[in-house]
Amino acid sequence: MKADIGQPPLLSVRGLGKTYRVGEIEIHALRGVDLQVAAGELLVLLGPSGSGKTTFLNILGTLDLPSSGRILFRGRELTDLDERARTHFRRHHLGFVFQFFNLMPSLTARENVALVTEIATRPMAPEEALQMVGLGHRLDHFPAQLSGGEQQRVAIARAIAKRPELLLCDEPTGALDSATGIVVLEALRQTSREIGATTLIVTHNAAIAAMADRVVRFADGRVVSVTRNPQPVEPAALSW
């Protein structure tokens, strides 16, 4: 547990709401979410499909704008940023991992990572990042030549290579079988720890919650509970 008393939280979310309008219908994806995240924490956001987890993560990542509420990152208002500033914020502070990996099919593993390191300020070498996820031997393979788990590890390498402060992962194991999923989570846990990134993992898989410092439960666009894990386990010990 690293959230020391007195130190301001890395991330502070207040009353976050998001309403989608589809024709006549209004969909309340988020209905007022409050959350504080301390630097270096690993959070698992747990909730059934459709509960608003992805929406929440996207807004944190400035990929989407909230309908109401505020987000403070190191005390800075994220919701007020213009497009330029949002791009800058993502470029220098954020790492993303997606459910479907979202690698560039036309680029090799190394190039997929380089795509991000090239525009970062103090990145590690793409090779180093791939080494960290155990893919040092797969540098020049194209996504189509990699298994799902390997692709997701490339995505993790891509996300951590720029040493982001905040790592946002949306269902990183959602498209993988459990054994592969665990390997991926190990890579994620180890690398995020190594670079000291604050990490948010969104999942509907309750088994993953055990590796978190804190577990945030979502339902129907709200945070229904936040529980602290006294003893987070290593991903290798998980099973589902």
Ligand X SMILES: Nc1ncnc2c1ncn2[C@@H]1O[C@H](COP(=O)(O)OP(=O)(O)O)[C@@H](O)[C@H]1O
Number of residues that bind Mg ion (CB under 5 A): 1
The rounded distance, in Å, linking the Cα atoms of 39 and 111 is 30
Output the six-digit token pair for 2.
């690293």
> What's the number of CA atoms in the CB half-sphere (13 Å) around residue 184?
29
Nearest to 16 by CA among 75, 67, 86: 67
Task: Name residues contacting ligand X, limited to 9-28 (CB under 6 A).
Answer: 20, 22, 27
- Contact status: 54 vs Mg ion (CB under 5 A): yes
Pick the binder of another protein from 27, 119, 125, 179 (CB under 8 A).
119
Closer residue to ligand X (CB): 55 or 152: 55
In the region spanning residues 35 to 74, those forming contacts with ligand X, defined by CB under 6 A, are: 47, 49-55
Partner interacting with residue 210 (select from ligand X, Mg ion, another protein, none; CB below 5-8 Å by kind) = none
Residues in the interface with another protein (CB under 8 A) total: 32
81 contacts another protein (rule: CB under 8 A)? no
User: Which residues are near another protein by CB under 8 A?
Assistant: 55, 58-59, 61, 63-64, 83-84, 87-92, 94-96, 98, 100, 102, 104, 106-107, 111-112, 114-116, 118-120, 158
Instruction: Using CB under 5 A, list all residues that contact Mg ion.
Output: 54
